[in-house]
Chain A
């Protein structure tokens, strides 16, 4: 307090106010419109990372799956030489751990989709975000690509990174250089399966999120489709054509894996043909991206202006 100045005339106490940074007209160059999707993708990733606890269960399941699969592989490799006639089983365990674990990574992918991708578009519709995006130079394809790339990066952490680590471990536990060279193709095979699974678990829930304007409804629809419709398709695959079971997303991914890794389907599992599995995944992904593109393009035309 300054002496000699009345209380009500004292200068205000500094309260940590934010200072005016001034205003200058922006004269720099603007980034090309074609880079907008990168901004959207980055924001999608940083937002999910900021609220990563929502992502924790899925990531946790993926890490657990990876640890168990890796541990089993290391253990079998370590004890293989001392197993005598049971060596065959240990070797089989080492060879099948990766493809068998894919279904678990798919389950983790589903959990991730529930928290990050199944509500994306519905949330944006509900919050009026399309007005925010499309009153700017953002075009529908920037939005769709940005969201898809962002979600793929996140989903890949769950369904792509884990299998890739296990594949690398498999190479690491090779007995000889000759064997390593022989099994080297598991890397591109794992990459192919990882890409398919990533696309499926990012694009399909994103498509469902574009179907309904309410985020909870969209979430429920995706969960119902995945769990109930998937189970029905799987059951029908038993009694009718095995190709029908390819409509169940995790089974389709698993079928592609088994075919790529030359593994036999287990006794009671429908033997889904590779073509059916690939067709199912492609159709799911394409239709979902189509739905998203259509809805977003429609939203662009009607979103700005309020009354529509």
Chain B
């Protein structure tokens, strides 16, 4: 029997009085590292609460095949959650905290202690694990938060802004830890973040939310190439990109020279990449590379959001995006 998808949503709606925080969400989300993206108030946190079975909702939400409404506790036993805000118990050492977290997730005491050490080792918390958490740096606290989310061997990890407040080196280390998790610990990750570079670096799939609706679900490649245009190219030449640009413009293409040896080309509607080679031959310029022009995740995200805004203003469906 095939494994159920990580997350399934069907007509998921969440209202807070007059305000609809989540509006008829339908999606099937699977993958190893999934980026959950959206501006503030998009509904990410509300969705997370629904998925953990913490708040009532309309419609259906399943995590690992379990209904969040009726099996919230079982889901939370199989899911690890690393919160954005401080969520550590004062006066405890890292190892005590992680062992306690394990026991609260149903592990026997000895097992919880062993796994606490293993999780802290993975998170690279060394001998300081025996010191009280109160004196830890932000980076150390983030690592402990990751370890406490891992200790009970979850099948999915929800990471809420895991690199918040970290210096570049710690951020890099945290992202490395995250990217290795599916391979080394066999768990999938849902990464909720505002930092699109983080998503670009570690995620293989993305879910974009805006104003309580899901605007995109798919792979990062699909997101970056979501417009499906193979007429947007990046062309690398040996020299004199400007001259090639002139030839291409004369042939009806749009060009932007980005450096003496590279240019972005938008081909005319009925043209193929052959046009570039032909233009290169005519201009006496050696074409050294040709690739599809891909958006960065940031550009793609902004495009998806701006398309939503246009759509909303066109239909007059202007709902306040609050409550998450």
- A-side residues, CB < 8 A to B, are 16-23, 25-26, 28, 30-33, 36, 39-40, 43, 47, 51, 123-124, 127-129, 131-139, 300-301, 304-308
Contact = CB atoms under 8 A, between A and B. Distances in A.
B87 A21 contact: no
B249 to A, nearest CB: 49
Nearest to B99: A43
Interface string B79-109: 0010111111111100000001101111110
B104 A23 contact: no
Nearest to A130: B87
A294 B85 CA distance: 23
B10 to A, nearest CB: 21
Interface in B209-259: none
Given A33-B106, A128-B86, A23 B122 contact: yes
B94 to A, nearest CB: 12
Nearest to A30: B106
Given A128-B88, A301-B54, A305-B160, A26 B49 contact: no
A134 B115 contact: no
Given A26-B107, A127-B89, A306-B161, A21 B117 contact: yes
B126 A306 contact: no
Given A18-B126, A301-B55, A307-B45, A30 B85 contact: no
Given A17-B127, A25-B153, 16 more contacts: A18-B127, A19-B121, A20-B118, A21-B114, A23-B122, A23-B185, A28-B107, A127-B86, A128-B85, A128-B86, A133-B104, A135-B76, A137-B73, A137-B105, A137-B106, A300-B54
A165 B15 CA distance: 58
B74 A137 contact: yes
Interface string B143-177: 00000100011000000110000000000000000
A301 B56 CA distance: 9
Contacts of A43: 100
A304 B49 contact: yes
Nearest to A146: B104
Contact of B73 (A26, A28, A139, A307): A139
Contacts of A136: 76-77, 101, 104-105, 152
14 contacts: A17-B126, A18-B121, A20-B122, A22-B118, A26-B107, A47-B91, A131-B87, A135-B81, A137-B105, A137-B106, A301-B55, A304-B48, A306-B84, A308-B324
- A-side interface mostly: loop
B184 interface: yes
Contacts of A28: 107-108, 111
Complex A-B, nearest 7 residue pairs according to Cβ-Cβ distance, in ascending order: A30-B106, A305-B45, A135-B81, A137-B73, A131-B87, A128-B87, A26-B153
Given A128-B86, A139-B73, A304 B111 contact: no
B186 interface: yes
A23 B153 CA distance: 9
A72 to B, nearest CB: 39
Contacts of B87: 127-129, 131-132, 135
Contacts of B107: 26, 28, 30-31
Nearest to A27: B153
Given A133-B104, A137-B77, A26 B88 contact: no
B90 A135 contact: no
Contact of B45 (A124, A128, A306): A306
Contacts of B100: 39, 43
A308 B49 CA distance: 11
Contacts of A305: 45-46, 48-49, 83, 160, 324
A301 B85 CA distance: 16
B118 A23 contact: yes
A39 B104 contact: yes
A300 B152 CA distance: 20
B37 interface: no
A80 to B, nearest CB: 50
Nearest to A142: B104
A39 B76 CA distance: 17
Contacts of A20: 118, 121-122
A29 to B, nearest CB: 8
* Residue picked from B46, B55, B161, B186, most chain A C-beta under 10 Å: B55
Contacts of A304: 45, 48-49, 52, 54, 81, 83
* Residue picked from B89, B104, B122, most chain A C-beta under 10 Å: B104
A124 B89 CA distance: 7
A16 B54 contact: no
Contacts of A300: 54
Nearest to B115: A26
B193 to A, nearest CB: 12
Contacts of B126: 17-18
Nearest to B161: A306
A123 B100 CA distance: 17
* Residue picked from A22, A51, A132, A301, most chain B C-beta under 10 Å: A132
B88 A132 contact: yes
A210 B39 CA distance: 33
Contacts of B148: 132
Given A25-B153, A305-B324, A306-B85, A135 B52 contact: yes
A22 B153 CA distance: 13
A21 to B, nearest CB: 4
B104 A123 contact: no
* Residue picked from B88, B103, B107, B127, most chain A C-beta under 10 Å: B103
Contacts of B77: 30, 33, 136-137
